[in-house]
Amino acid sequence: MTKIALDAMGSDEHPLPDVQGAVMAAKEYGVEVILVGDEARLAPVLAAQNPGNLPLRIVHAPEVLTMEDKGVALALKARRPNAKNSMAVGIDLVKNGEADAFVSAGNTGAAMATAYFRLGVLEGVDLPALAPLFPTATGTCVVLDIGANPEVKPENLYQFAIMGSIYAQKVRGIANPKVGLISNGEEEGKGNHNVKEATPLLKNGNINFYGNVEGKEVIGGAVDVAVTDGFTGNVMLKSSEAVAKLIVDKIKETIKTGGPLAMLGGILVKPALSKIKKLLDPSEEGAAPLLGVNGLVFIGHGRSDALAIKNAIRVAKQAAEAKVLQAMREGIAESMKK
């Protein structure tokens, strides 16, 4: 049975949504969930969910990394051998082979630092990358990096392309993913120094390179994987989320203030709006993989509810059972021969 370690102290409202999501996942997906956190707080919450004989257990971790943990202090807590915070204990379960993947809705920077220091990176990878799914006109697109590395080198973008391509194959089920390099123009030769220098690496690499793409091509579904630096990716992600929310809010506002006919129209289009809302809802995917570290790590939103936690565990289970980590090792090793 696949085992997923969950940071049960991760979400903003922890531990209730974390525990509820774990129970739902254990029931629906046949996965063992290891709840990592303060046992005195977790045990009564878990008992209240009436888990019965579901494969759930608690591993005690008395400390929690919060949004206040930054800089040197965070680095020390992330790498201390005997660390007792829920992220360190959970990631150590993966490192020691006691869990197949780790999921957290806690401090993103803390989760990335803890994974980096405790797991290390795969051979041939310099930097890990956070890789969420963007909704597109034709489905979804894996975009990386969206925040782990504000500054990168051209070879890092090539590494991101390989990792994103393998993830799209193994978890998204895309046989030959098209990979795009995010730039300010579609033409080769556009972009900053990193884009220009990365282009020949991607063209000659062991991937299906589509070429340069602008934001509109990504959203339009031209590619299955899009690579960029963490600064650009993070701005793109937050801008896209804000625009999507604005459009949905304005539609609702227009319906409410448009009179009886608008209200009637709102009732008629409600099923379609519900589908759009679901498409844009990050809880549907639950968490994004941190690709490049030597273990499966998934990081979700702090505002995750039980549904988001459940879905994050589902995605982690899919990645573990698809042997994404082994495929990534093999793909990177193959690319190093070129």
Please state whether the peptide bond connecting residue 38 to the residue before it is cis, i.e. omega within 30 degrees of 0: no
3-class SS at 8? coil
State how far the Cα of 156 lies from the Cα of 127, in Å rounded to an integer: 7
Residue 273: is its pLDDT beyond 80?
Answer: no
Asked if 35 contacts 103 with a C-beta cutoff of 8 angstroms, the reply is no
Q: Which CATH architecture has domain 3-127+285-323?
A: 3-Layer(aba) Sandwich (3.40)
Residue 91: is its pLDDT beyond 90?
Answer: yes
The structural domains of the chain, with segments of one domain joined by +, span 3-127+285-323, 133-236
Half-sphere exposure of 97 (CA within 13 A, CB side): 0
23-72, pLDDT tens digit by residue? Answer: 999 999 999 999 999 999 999 999 999 999 999 999 999 988 877 777 75
State how far the Cα of 278 lies from the Cα of 274, in Å rounded to an integer: 6
Predicted TM-score of the model (pTM): 0.90
83-95 mean pLDDT: 95
240-250 mean pLDDT: 79
State how far the Cα of 35 lies from the Cα of 281, in Å rounded to an integer: 25
- Helices (H), ranges, the chain: 16-29, 39-48, 71-79, 86-95, 108-119, 154-170, 193-203, 215-220, 230-257, 259-280, 306-321, 324-336
